[in-house]
Chain A
Amino acid sequence: MSQPAADPAEERALIARARAGDESAFGQLVTAHSARVFGALRRFGLDPQEADEVAQEVFLRAWRSLARFEERSRFSTWLYRIAFNEAQRRLGRRPRATASSRAGDEDAIAALPDAAGAGPQSRTLDREFEQMLERALGELPTDLRAAVVLRDLEGLSTAEAAAVAGVRQSAFKSRLHRGRMQLRALLEPYLRLEQAS
């Protein structure tokens, strides 16, 4: 979440103006939320170019659907929902990952303890973790990845994240648990290294 959320009252006013056709107000909403949307799309598994294209689609859909935004949820959560759907659509069009590309990721994760141990402490470890996390997330099935991204990386509540994913909370909790356990297994070398340091 690299962009601060707009003040709620100010945001409501911008939404009302945008609904009435004020493009400048909508531009301010896009400015406030595009980093968040782009970041979520990247974490759902899109590459930078795809995330850029899909982020535009998310906001264009939002513009066309503003009349249907009921303000029962936060505007950001509503955008996450559109972003989630658009990301799934884009990911669904992709060919399955090849065995060789997967093998490369596994090698990188296996090589982690040496690489992390060589660096001067936390900054290097942060960068290593960032890279390992991206690779490890790429190993998760799409639905489990989305659950971990929404709840643990984007910081949504369980209720919000379940609504974004379009499933009941009980089903979402099950996905989240499985996603976390798989991610833990993939990141285990890093986690053990951190515990030892």
Chain B
Amino acid sequence: MSAYLDFDLRTQARARLERHTAECAECRGVLGDLRQMLVLLQGAPAAKPVADVPAIVGAVLRRLHEPTGR
């Protein structure tokens, strides 16, 4: 199903899945859930809190000459 939603299935396999989901309510439900979930994920905002960009940039520039090694 994942490959189907990513347009990553060959024509025959796509048709087979579409025939099956037309007849099987359970799989049709799962496919619908997955499709909806992907739409929501693609529009999901960044996790809060968001980055403090100036603080990260400042810290990185200050640390550029630190000796390497962990």
Contact = CB atoms under 8 A, between A and B. Distances in A.
Looking at A126, A180, A194, the one whose CB has the most chain B CB atoms below 10 A away is: A180
A60 B66 contact: yes
Interface of A, helix, strand, loop or mixed by DSSP: helix
B3 A39 contact: no
Nearest to A152: B41
B50 A126 contact: no
A153 interface: yes
Interface residues of A, number: 47
A173 B42 CA distance: 18
B25 interface: no
A59 B60 contact: yes
Contacts of B8: 158, 173
Interface of B: 1-3, 6, 8, 30, 32-34, 36-38, 40-42, 44-53, 55-57, 59-61, 63-64, 66, 68
Task: Identify the 8 closest CB pairs spanning chains A and B, nearest first.
Answer: A38-B51, A177-B2, A42-B47, A152-B41, A39-B46, A34-B56, A59-B60, A35-B51
